Structure 1
Amino acid sequence: MRKLTLSIAAATIATAGLAGAAYAAPGMMTKGGDQTRAQATAKADAMFAKMDANGDGKIDQSDRTARKAKMFDRIDTDKNGSISREEFAAAGKQKRALDGEVRGERRGKHSDRMGKRGHRGGGMAMMKMADTNKDGAISKAEFQTAALKRFDATDANKDGTVTATERKAARDAMKAKWQQMRAQKQAQKPAAPATN
Structure 2
Amino acid sequence: MAERQGRFPELDNEEYIMKKAILISSATALLMAGGIAVAAPGDRGMRADTNADGAISRAELTASLNTRFAKMDVNGDGQLSKEDREARRADRSAKRGERFAKADTNGDGELTQAEMEAARSARRAERFARADKDGNGKLSQEEAQAMHGKRGDRGMRGKGHKRGGHGMAMMRNADTNGDQKISQAEFTAAALARFDKADTNNDGKLTKEERQAARAAYKGERNNRGG
TM band (smaller chain): 0.5 to 0.7
Structure 1 67/85 Cα, relative in aligned 2: closer, same or farther at 3 Å?
A: farther
- Pair 1:28–1:38, CA change in 2 (3 A): farther
1:69 maps to which residue? 90
Q: Which runs of 5 or more residues in structure 1 are unaligned?
A: 1-17, 79-83, 184-196
**Residue 49 of structure 1 aligns with which residue?**
70
Q: Number of residue pairs matched? A: 158
Q: Deviations over 1:135-160 (max 9, x none)?
A: 12100110111121111011111111
Shifted more, 106-115 versus 161-170: the winner is 106-115
Q: CA RMSD in A?
A: 4.0
What is the rounded CA distance, in whole Å, between the counterparts of 1:107 and 1:171 in structure 2? 22
Q: Establish whether residue 40 from structure 1 lines up as the match of residue 48 from structure 2.
A: no
**Cα separation, partners in 2 of 1:55 and 1:165, compared to 1, 3 Å:** same
- 1:174 and 2:218 matched: yes
Contact 1:31-1:110 at 8 Å conserved across structures: no
TM-fit CA distance, 1:132: 2.0
- CA separation in 2, counterparts of 1:144 and 1:64? 19
Query: Percent identity over the alignment?
Result: 36
Q: Select the residue among 29, 33, 36 that pairs with 1:25.
A: 33
SS of 1:54's equivalent in the other structure is coil
* Deviates most, 114-123 or 64-73: 114-123
Structure 2's unaligned 5+ residue stretches are 1-24, 38-44, 48-53, 102-108, 132-140
Q: Give the TM-score taking structure 1 as reference length.
A: 0.63
* Aligned AA (1:149): A
Residue 145 of structure 2 aligns with which residue? 108
- Structural mapping, 1:73-88, within 5 Å: 73-77=94-98, 78=101, 86=111
Partner of 1:72: helix, strand, or coil?
A: helix
Per-residue displacement from partner, 1:67-120 (whole Å, max 9, x unpaired)? 111111112225xxxxx664xx69x959x8599999x97972599998745973
Q: What TM-score, normalized to structure 2?
A: 0.55
Q: Is the 8 A contact 1:26 1:150 kept in 2?
A: yes
After the TM superposition, which residues 156-171 of structure 1 pair with which residues of structure 2 at under 5 Å, given as runs? 156-171=200-215
With over 3 angstroms needed to count, the CA separation of the structure-2 counterparts of 1:146 and 1:180, relative to structure 1, is same
Give the structure 1 partner of residue 81 of structure 2.
60
Equivalents in 1 of 2:176, 2:224: separation in Å? 26
Q: What is the rounded CA distance, in whole Å, between the counterparts of 1:156 and 1:111 in structure 2?
A: 29
Counterpart Cα distance in 2 of 1:50 and 1:117: 18
Cα 1:85–1:174, aligned 2, differ >3 Å: closer, same or farther?
Answer: farther
The 1-side partners of 2:91 and 2:148 are apart by 32
Alignment of structure 1 residues 5-20 onto 2, 5 Å = none
